Amino acid sequence: MAVPERVLNERLVEFGTTIFAEMSALALSTGAINLGQGFPDTDGPREVADAAVAAIRAGHNQYPPGLGIADLRLAVAEHQKRFYGMHFDPDAEVLITAGATEAIAAVMLSLLEPGDEVVLFEPYYDSHIAGIAMAGAERRLVTLRPPDYRFDPDELAAAIGPCTRMIVVNSPHNPTGKVFDREELELIAELCREHDLLAVTDEVYEHLAYDGEHIPMATLPGMRERTISVSSGGKTFSFTGWKIGWVCAMPELRDAVTTAKQFLTFVNGAPFQHAMAVGLRLGDDYFDGLRNSMRARRDQLSDGLSAAGFEVYRPAGTYFVTADVRPLGFDDGMALCRKLPELCGVVAVPNVVFYDNEREGRHLVRFAFCKRPEVLDEAVERLAKLGAGS
């Protein structure tokens, strides 16, 4: 039976298999240490895991409410007030989603028309541009450049045109680890107000800012009514497989996103929603301990990469550190990542896949440090051999 000549729609042709799937498969096939995909190698808090088990045994295994269970929506609202002083109505302004990825897709599908333009920063997280493409919109990119990954204000202003509908801000930023500071956020907010734009903020690493402060865009003057805030519990609680995320926004925006979300997964993760409510109410000692632990691992891997000969751009947040491979005699990060398991038994991700302007990211590689310290020690020891052989 012949397959039709045209299968995948044109909007998705550029995406195909993600680099994360390719590199994780390479790690599995070679036995290399996987510092490519950003998932921890240990489980999160025992009390959160126990709450999931208890919810399953208590019979919370059928469809939850479409907006998410009431207690988790309340816990999200409590979290926003506790950490940022923001007040959200858990019944009218909070939506529970299948992770931040579904939330971003639902935002794009519900708020964009074909031909709309979305301004975002490159390197970008791939699901952001996929959501834009699925909505039939176009992306307009502003480049963040090392070592500090600040953007050019003139370049940002020039990216906004008559068809611009929204600006996407991912802070702390994947893959660079940049934490946008108040001056940068206020500049973005000013442009949103001036051009009547929406702001979509991906804040999944909000509790993993090591240098500087995570400032939600919605806290800035005039931004509460035009910001759709997206986050999730996967990175904060090290349960990435549960896929529990949320959207916080004004009722009109929350309801619009719900319209699309209900036809994606409809609902998901009933027992995990109960458990995530427990996680969001953990004490400050948990959140401080998580940040301090990950900061130490950031330094451990960054120092090891520097010793191996990479030029390292130490991240201010997230799970990831970016390194320039040129001091080791390489100029192609993609080619190096495909050879790295053979050369020293480590897997990383080439940053070039996060750029439209490939020249900007060709020589950069991203390593994940959300692993046990002993795993990072072994990875650093192996990477040192790479430097020694250069």
Please state the rounded mean pLDDT for residues 150-166.
98
Question: What distance in Å separates the CA atoms of residue 324 and residue 330, rounded to the nearest whole number?
Answer: 9
pLDDT confidence tier of residue 26, bands split at 50, 70 and 90? confident
Please state the rounded mean pLDDT for residues 317-339.
96
Please state the rounded mean pLDDT for residues 148-158.
98
- What pLDDT was estimated at residue 37? 84
- What pLDDT was estimated at residue 16? 79
Indicate whether 1 pLDDT > 90.
Answer: no
Indicate whether 358 pLDDT > 80.
Answer: yes
Please state the rounded mean pLDDT for residues 51-75.
98
pLDDT confidence tier of residue 387, bands split at 50, 70 and 90? low
Residue 329 burial class via C-beta count within 10 angstroms: exposed 0-12, middle 13-18, buried 19 and up: exposed
- What pLDDT was estimated at residue 285? 98
Question: Mutual orientation of helices 373-388 and 333-344 as an angle, nearest 10°?
Answer: 100
Could you identify the residue written with the tokens 């390197």? 123
- What pLDDT was estimated at residue 194? 98
Minimum mean pLDDT range among 35-39, 56-60, 68-72, 208-212: 35-39
Please state the rounded mean pLDDT for residues 336-361.
94
Which DSSP category does 150 fall into? B
Closest CA to 286 of 41, 43, 45, 39: 45
CA atoms within 13 A on the CB side of 123: 27
Please state the rounded mean pLDDT for residues 29-37.
91
Which DSSP category does 327 fall into? G
- What pLDDT was estimated at residue 144? 98
Bridge partners for 198 per DSSP: 166
Indicate whether 18 pLDDT > 90.
Answer: no
In the chain, % of residues over pLDDT 70: 99
Which DSSP category does 352 fall into? G
280 within 8 A of 232, measured Cβ to Cβ: no
Indicate whether 390 pLDDT > 60.
Answer: no
Helix (H, G, I), strand (E, B) or coil at 117: strand
pLDDT in tens, 238-290: 999 999 999 999 999 999 999 999 999 999 999 999 999 999 999 999 999 99
CA 301 to chain CA centroid, Å, is: 20
Indicate whether 152 pLDDT > 60.
Answer: yes
- What pLDDT was estimated at residue 249? 98
CB atoms under 10 Å from CB of 2, counted, come to 4
CA atoms within 13 A on the CB side of 248: 29
pLDDT confidence tier of residue 3, bands split at 50, 70 and 90? confident
pLDDT confidence tier of residue 389, bands split at 50, 70 and 90? low
Please indicate whether residue 16 or residue 233 has the higher confidence score (pLDDT).
233
Please state the rounded mean pLDDT for residues 94-104.
98
- What pLDDT was estimated at residue 6? 79
Question: What distance in Å separates the CA atoms of residue 339 and residue 296, rounded to the nearest whole number?
Answer: 28
- What pLDDT was estimated at residue 385? 86
Indicate whether 343 pLDDT > 60.
Answer: yes
Indicate whether 293 pLDDT > 90.
Answer: yes
**Which two tokens mark 2?**
């012949």
Helix (H, G, I), strand (E, B) or coil at 326: helix
Say which amino acid occupies 279.
G
Indicate whether 131 pLDDT > 60.
Answer: yes
Helix (H, G, I), strand (E, B) or coil at 30: helix
Can you list the domains of the chain with their CATH numbers?
10-44+285-388 (3.90.1150.10), 46-280 (3.40.640.10)
CB atoms under 10 Å from CB of 115, counted, come to 10
Could you identify the residue written with the tokens 């072994």? 378
- What pLDDT was estimated at residue 38? 86
List C-alpha distances in Å: 268 to 101, 102, 241, 359. Answer: 13, 11, 12, 40
Query: Mean pLDDT in the chain?
Result: 96
Residue 1 burial class via C-beta count within 10 angstroms: exposed 0-12, middle 13-18, buried 19 and up: exposed
